Amino acid sequence: KAKKQIGTNYQYYIADMEEEMAERLALLRMLRQDFSNDRLELWYQPQVSLKNHQVVGMEALLRWPQANGQFISPAVFIPLAEYSGLIVEIGSWVLEQACIQVKKLEQQGFSELRIAVNVSMPQFRNHGFVQSVIDCVNRYQVRPASLELEITESVVMDEPKIVIEALQKLKSFGIKVAIDDFGIGFSSLSYLQQLPLDRIKVDRAFIRDINQAVGEVIAETIISLGKRLHLSTIAEGVETKEQEQAVKAMGCDEVQGFMYAKPMPPDELLLFLQQQKRD
């Protein structure tokens, strides 16, 4: 009897799994279709200096709008795009859009802004990646230092050799590198030494919990680690004045979060920047 019971559960389990996989495949098919029909959007979230409260740059974030006006979260579709390899094509579109955007802003009089782009592991595995980034920067005549690549700890740990080598080449071309979501992955600190980093992004989780002892000590440790390594630090997910005060007191250089601005489409970003300039 017990055996039969297990067998039955197992069948349900398989059925659930099949259903879930079918759903994911359907979503991936939709993503592929919408991407090739140019329906993905790149939005931008400002990054602000804590020294003078000026906008110093922005992070490019993918948006996948649906017919009902909602968006499917990148947390849902990015892993699918990574798994399927579609992220290689999407990622090169993102880079191109980011270069176009930074050039446009430069022409509007915002010449000092940098743009940060998230990069996934499959992009690094693609042999032409380094050259394609350089080509993109050259094609749109963007200052290399205005482009920053964001990589997570898991990307580094996955294939340290490939990633370090690619980043070193990009770095010598003048492109900036930030380590994203720092502290939640399990990176070996020894890789920090080998990575040509410019910036550490303190993960949102520690900013959220900064009023608790553990969050506070972790945020503080990451920020002082950045200082000791002569890297710039930026706190992600700053939503309140208290959080801003806390990271400022810790010596953090920059902030990014809903308190300043949510990610927004390019035309809104321009209005936002013009407004900031007037204030």
Which residue ranges make up the site for Mg ion (CB under 5 A)?
118, 150, 180-181, 236
Nearer to ligand C2E, 2 or 202 (CB): 202
Task: Quote the least distance from Cβ 256 to ligand C2E, whole Å.
Answer: 6
Residues 49-88 that bind ligand C2E (CB under 6 A): 61-62, 73-75, 78, 87
> With binding defined as CB under 6 A, does residue 226 bind ligand C2E?
no
The answer to whether residues 47 and 255 touch, using CB atoms and an 8 Å cutoff, is yes
Nearer to ligand C2E, 74 or 196 (CB): 74
> With binding defined as CB under 6 A, does residue 258 bind ligand C2E?
yes
Task: Collapse the DSSP code of 128 into the 3-class scheme (helix H, G, I; strand E, B; otherwise coil) and give the result.
Answer: coil
Binding piece for ligand C2E, criterion CB under 6 A, among 15-23, 138-146, 192-200, 230-238: 230-238
The answer to whether residues 196 and 171 touch, using CB atoms and an 8 Å cutoff, is yes
The answer to whether residues 45 and 264 touch, using CB atoms and an 8 Å cutoff, is yes
Alpha carbon distance 154, 69 (integer Å): 33
Phi, psi (degrees; rounded to nearest 5) at 209: -100, 20
* CA-wise closest residue to 224 among 196, 250, 195: 250
Binding piece for ligand C2E, criterion CB under 6 A, among 11-19, 102-110, 212-220, 234-242: 234-242
DSSP characters over 130-197: HHHHHHHHHHTT--GGGEEEEEEHHHHHHSHHHHHHHHHHHHHHT-EEEEEEETTS---HHHHHHS--
> With binding defined as CB under 6 A, does residue 146 bind ligand C2E?
no
> With binding defined as CB under 6 A, does residue 252 bind ligand C2E?
no
Nearer to ligand C2E, 77 or 111 (CB): 77
Nearer to ligand C2E, 14 or 262 (CB): 262
Please state, as a whole number, how many other Cβ atoms lie within 10 Å of the Cβ of residue 83. Answer: 12
Alpha carbon distance 263, 5 (integer Å): 50
Report the partner that residue 78 touches, choosing among ligand C2E, Mg ion, none (CB closer than 5 to 8 A by kind): ligand C2E
Residues in touch with ligand C2E (CB under 6 A): 45, 61-62, 73-75, 78, 87, 91, 94, 118-120, 150, 180-181, 204, 236-239, 256-258, 263
